[in-house]
Structures are given as C-alpha cells and as structure tokens.
Amino acid sequence: MKRFILFGAPGSGKGTMGERIQRDFGFARIATGDILRAEIERGSAEGRQARAHMDSGGLVPDELVIEMVRRRLQAGDLDGGYVMDGYPRTLRQAEALSQVPCDGEKAVFIEVDEEQAVGRLLSRLTCRECGAIYNRANKPPLRPGICDVCGGAVEPRRDDNEQSVRERFRVYAERTLPVIEYYHRLGVLARIDGNGPAGPVYERLRGLIA
Ligand SMILES: [Zn+2]
C-alpha cells in the first residue's frame, strides 16, 4: 500500500486536497481528528484518556496518538493506499510512522502565504453537525446558514478570528518544521505552491500521485 502524507498550515487547503485524493484515487483518508473522535465516541480506554487531556485544556500526548493511529493502520481497508492528514505532527510520531511498512511513501508540503491562509480561514464556515466546510467567498451553502449535506447549522468556527488564526499559523510553521525536515532527509518530500484557487493546486498535487 502507498502512503501519502499531507502537510500544510491551517488555511492551506490540506483538508480539501485530502478529500479529493480520497475521491479520485480511492485512497483511504486517515485524519487524526477523526480517529480521536471515533475513539472518544466508542469510549475506548485511549479515547477516555484523550478526552481527559482535552477537557483539561491540554494536548493529547504523543504516545496516545501514536497508539491510536497504529491501530487504525491495522484496519483492512488500506490496501489501495492511504492519505494522512494531520499526522505526523511531531518527530516522534514521524519516527513511529516510519516503523509501519508501506510500498512507497511521499510527503507533500502545501505551502501557502500567511495572508492568503488567514483570508481563507476568516471566510470559512463549518457545519456544527457534520463538520462540512463552506466558504463565504467561493463555496457558500445552497441555503444560507444551512448545511447542504445534513441540514445542520452552518456558521464560522468560534476560533476563526484573526488573532487566533495568525497564532495557529505561526505555531504550525514552528512545530511542523522539524517533521518536514525529517521527510526531506528521507528523500520523500515534495513542496507545492498552495496559493490560488483549489483547482490548480489540486492539479499540481495530482501530478505527484499519478
Ligand atoms: Zn452538515
């Protein structure tokens, strides 16, 4: 199975790109946020521990995330390849992932200017029920305020304000740099320009998979 790892700051369009790869290439999509949510809903031991860390305002520890992802990677649906979104976030996670064999690995860093990322995030709307993402500027829901997928309420995320967005952008760049370096040293890193509309960005990304 092939492994495709997407990196990109908040507002880089990484989530959208991951979804398109999933759709067009039949890859499974592995997003840490989804795994966490599933474990918490199932009430597994790891889920309960993760929940406790989140409730106290802390980060979920590496060991816990690594274990949850390791288990996810044992599921039987990955033979056609998989795309990872939001993982690995730390060097330790990257090293743990390298222990999981695959037929070929590529890491792609979607680079986007801060101003563009901030603009995108500030016009972003999300569905409170299903998490579907919309954009005031170029992808509004068909009926204002109502999710096309599930009929839930569509609104800006509470933390999508300018100060919080700039802070998240800065923190991402700082924390992720060592992980990107790690893949660069492995010789599997590509960088693509993530500025501009999603269509052409996706074409650049596609070229790296096909
Ligand atoms: Zn929805």
Domain boundaries, the chain: 2-117+162-209
72 is an active site residue: no
Tell me the CA distances in angstroms from 167 to 58, 101, 121, 134, one per residue in order.
17, 35, 12, 22
Burial of residue 132 (CB within 10 Å: 0-12, 13-18, 19+) is middle
Looking at residue 76, its pLDDT comes to: 77
168 is an active site residue: yes
Q: How far, in Å, from the CA of 96 to the mean position of ligand 1?
A: 34
92 is an active site residue: no
Write the class of the CATH domain 2-117+162-209.
Answer: alpha beta
Looking at residue 137, its pLDDT comes to: 80
Q: Which residues pair with 4 in a beta bridge?
A: 83, 106
Q: pTM (2 decimals)?
A: 0.83
Q: How far, in Å, from the CA of 129 to the mean position of ligand 1?
A: 5
Looking at residue 77, its pLDDT comes to: 82
Looking at residue 1, its pLDDT comes to: 67
- Marked catalytic residue, from 20, 72, 120, 124: 124
Q: Mean pLDDT per segment of 10 residues, for the chain of length 210 residues?
A: 91 90 92 89 92 87 92 87 92 95 93 92 91 86 95 88 89 90 96 93 90
For residues 39 and 48, give the distance between their C-alpha atoms in angstroms, rounded to a whole number.
8
Looking at residue 65, its pLDDT comes to: 93
- Marked catalytic residue, from 2, 37, 89, 166: 89
For residues 23 and 17, give the distance between their C-alpha atoms in angstroms, rounded to a whole number.
10
Looking at residue 95, its pLDDT comes to: 96
Would you call 107 helix, strand, or coil by DSSP?
strand
Mutual angle of helices 32-42 and 45-55, in 10-degree steps:
110
